[in-house]
Structure 1
Amino acid sequence: MNVCTSSARRLPVRAGFTLVELLVVIAIIGVMVGLLLPAVQAAREAARRMSCSNNMKQLGLGIHNHESTYKWIPAWGREFPLAEYPNDPPNPYLAFGSVARTTMGPLYHILPFMEQVQIFEMFDRRRSYVDPVNMPPNFGTANPAAANPVATFICPSTPGEPPRDYGPYFASVGLDRGPLVMPRTDYAPLRGLHSSFAGNCAGMPATTTHNAMFGSDNITTRWNIKFAEVLDGLTNTIMFGEIAGKQTAFLKRQAIPNVTLLNSFYGDVNVARHLRGYSGNPANPSELGCGAINVFNSDGLLSFHPGGVQVGMGDGSVRFLSDSTDARVVAAMVTRNGGETFTLE
Structure 2
Amino acid sequence: MAPQEGERMRELNQKGRLETRPSRAFTLIELLVVIAIIGVLVGLLLPAVQAAREAARRLQCSNNLKQIALGFHNYHSAHRQLPRQQDPVNRHTWAVGILPFIEQGAIYERYDFDVAWNAVENREIIQTNISTYLCPTTPDNRSFANDGGFPTATTDYVPPGSIAAEFNKSGHITRRKNPNGMLKGSKVTRFRDALDGLSNTLLMTECAGRPQFFVKNRLGPSTNVNGCGNADVTQSLAKWGGWANPGHSIPIHGFQGDGLTCTGPYVINKTNNNEAYSFHTGGLQINLADGSVRFISEQISADVFASLITYQEHEVVGEF
Question: Into which bin does the TM-score normalised by the smaller protein fall?
Answer: 0.7 to 0.9
- Pick from 177, 181, 198 the counterpart of residue 212 of structure 1: 181
Partner letter of residue 30 of structure 2? E
Q: Which residue of 2 aligns with 1:323?
A: 298
User: Gaps (5+ residues) in structure 2?
Assistant: 1-5, 223-234
1:53 correspondence with 2:62: yes
1:232 aligns with 2:196: yes
Equivalent runs, 1:112-261 vs 2, <5 Å: 112-134=100-122, 136=123, 144-160=124-140, 163-164=143-144, 166=146, 180-209=150-179, 211-215=180-184, 219=186, 223-256=187-220, 257=222, 258-261=235-238
Partner-residue secondary structure (3-state), 1:73: coil
Kindly report the root-mean-square deviation, in angstroms, between the aligned alpha carbons of the 2 structures. Answer: 2.3
Query: Could you say what secondary structure the match of 1:311 adopts?
Result: strand
Give the partner amino acid of 1:21.
E
Kindly tell me: are residues 162 and 312 of structure 1, through their superposed partners in 2, closer, same or farther at Cα, counting changes over 3 Å? closer
Q: Closer, same or farther in 2 for the Cα pair 1:124/1:145, shift >3 Å?
A: closer
SS in 2 for 1:320: strand
What's the offset of the Cα at 1:269?
1.6
Deviation at 1:112? 1.1
TM-score normalized with structure 1 length = 0.79
1:107: Cα distance to partner? 1.2
Q: Aligned partners of 2:74 and 2:171: how far apart in 1?
A: 36
Q: Is the 8 A contact 2:172 2:264 kept in 1?
A: no
The alpha-carbon deviation at position 205 of structure 1 amounts to 4.1
- 1:185 to partner: Cα distance: 0.3
Once residues 58 and 30 of structure 1 are traced to their aligned partners in structure 2, the CA distance between those partners, rounded to angstroms, is 42
Q: Is contact 1:235-1:313 (8 Å) kept?
A: yes
Give, in whole Å, the separation in 2 of the partners of 1:12 and 1:290.
77
1:12, CA displacement in angstroms?
2.7
Q: Where does residue 262 of structure 1 map in the other structure?
A: 239
* Maintained 8 Å contact 1:197/1:290: no
Which structure has the greater CA radius of gyration?
A: 2
Q: Kindly indicate whether residue 55 of structure 2 is the aligned counterpart of residue 78 of structure 1.
A: no
CA deviations 1:166-193 (Å, max 9, x no partner) are: 2xx65xxxxxxxx611100000012221
| Structure-2 change in CA distance of 1:73 and 1:276 (3 Å) | same
Flag the 1:51–1:263 CA change in 2: closer, same or farther, 3 A: same
CA–CA separation in structure 1 for the residues paired with 2:175 and 2:73:
27
Q: Is contact 2:239–2:273 with CA below 8 Å preserved after alignment? A: no
Corresponding residue number in structure 2 for 1:24: 33
* Structure 2 counterpart of 1:336, one-letter code: Y
Deviation at 1:311?
0.3
Q: Is the 8 A contact 2:217 2:279 kept in 1?
A: yes
Q: Post-superposition shift, 1:287?
A: 3.1
- State whether structure 2 residue 98 is matched by structure 1 residue 110: yes
Task: Indicate conservation of the 8 Å contact 2:196/2:316, yes or no.
Answer: no
Task: Provide structure 1 residue ranges, at least 5 long, that are not aligned to the other structure.
Answer: 81-101, 137-143, 171-178
Q: Whole-Å Cα distance in 2 between the matches of residues 42 and 74 of structure 1?
A: 36
Q: Which string of whole-angstrom CA distances, capped at 9 and with x for unpartnered residues, describes residues 135-189 of structure 1?
A: x2xxxxxxx35412111111100001673462xx65xxxxxxxx61110000001
SS at match of 2:254: coil
1:34 alignment partner, SS class: helix
Q: In structure 1, give the amino acid aligned to 2:298.
A: D
TM-score calculated relative to the size of structure 2: 0.85
Alpha-carbon spacing, 1:249–1:59, altered in 2? closer, same or farther (3 Å): same
> Kindly, what percent of the aligned residue pairs are identical?
35
Letter in 2 for 1:37: L
Partner SS, residue 224 of structure 1? coil
1:42 equivalenced with 2:51 (yes/no)? yes
Listed one character per residue, the Cα deviations across residues 4-53 of structure 1 (whole Å, up to 9, x for unaligned) are 9x888455362442211111111011011101111100000000000111
Structure 2 counterpart of 1:238, which letter?
Answer: L
Paired residue secondary structure (2:159): strand
